Amino acid sequence: MSKPKKDPLLEALKEGRSYTWTVPDGGDLASMRAAVKHGQTLTMSPVVNASEIHVGDLVLVKWHKGDIFHLVGEIQGDQFLIVNSLGKVNGWVGGNDILGRITHILDPEPRPSVPIMLEQLEAAYHKLIQLEPPAHDDAQRLFTIVEDLRWYADRIGVERWNKMPRSNKWSFEQNLWRLTKQAKNAIAPVPHSSRYLIDCGKACVGLASEIVALFEYGERA
């Protein structure tokens, strides 16, 4: 039987170290979506003394047989009321049950508008082709991706670019931003293969198609 993988966050806190991670773009942040944003970089530090903890702190708490990442809603002595960002009350815990608290939040780079992202994506593809000339067909495929995404952007409409078609589905804007960052990062310091970016781009086009279907056809999609 293979051993379960260790959680790097829990391991760092146990060793008295802070741990930093970036919240992945997209997806549903569930009950913490009013407090945490996609793309934010969070640093969690171990709690040395419960007096460090304040109302509103984002904390990692021992909860039943596991742990939860929630908020401190109220403090009474050494008792802390744990709530989620939507106002649901989980219950009271002692200071020893709080494993860590967020001590630093770095907001993500603001997303450009969709038209600017499409321009940046096209420019990144041009730079990639200059650095790593692909086969002619592959170069054409890269630019077809941009054309397809522009077509879907028009179909989805500016008022829906940043709307998630379902709670667990990314918006068109989120999908495009992830693809654009992949393409921009691929040109430095070492470019990825053009085929990898073609696959990423085609996946983004497929997701755009799914978004259109969910918006236009609802439950039939």
- Do 127 and 210 fall into the same domain? yes
Residues of the chain with pLDDT under 50: 1-3, 221
Full domain range(s) for residue 61:
8-106
- Do 119 and 102 fall into the same domain? no
User: Strand 19-22 and strand 41-46: pairing?
Assistant: antiparallel
Count of domains forming the chain = 2
Three-point CA angle 155, 156, 157, nearest 5°:
90
- Do 121 and 214 fall into the same domain? yes
100 DSSP 8-state letter: E
The pLDDT of residue 90 is 94
The pLDDT of residue 26 is 61
Please answer whether residues 61 and 95 qualify as being in contact, where contact means their C-beta atoms are separated by less than 8 angstroms.
no
- Do 25 and 67 fall into the same domain? yes
The pLDDT of residue 182 is 87
The pLDDT of residue 1 is 38
Q: What distance in Å separates the CA atoms of residue 191 and residue 169, rounded to the nearest whole number?
A: 29
Q: Considering the domain boundaries, does residue 1 fall inside one?
A: no
Please answer whether residues 146 and 180 qualify as being in contact, where contact means their C-beta atoms are separated by less than 8 angstroms.
no
CATH of the domain at 56: 2.10.109.10
Burial class (CB in 10 A: 0-12, 13-18, 19+), 134: middle
- Do 178 and 200 fall into the same domain? yes
The pLDDT of residue 114 is 97
- Do 130 and 34 fall into the same domain? no
The pLDDT of residue 202 is 96
Q: Considering the domain boundaries, does residue 2 fall inside one?
A: no
The pLDDT of residue 189 is 55
Q: What is the pTM of this model?
A: 0.66
- Do 150 and 183 fall into the same domain? yes
- Do 21 and 59 fall into the same domain? yes
Q: Considering the domain boundaries, does residue 204 fall inside one?
A: yes
- Do 149 and 205 fall into the same domain? yes
Domain finish residue from 49, 79, 106: 106
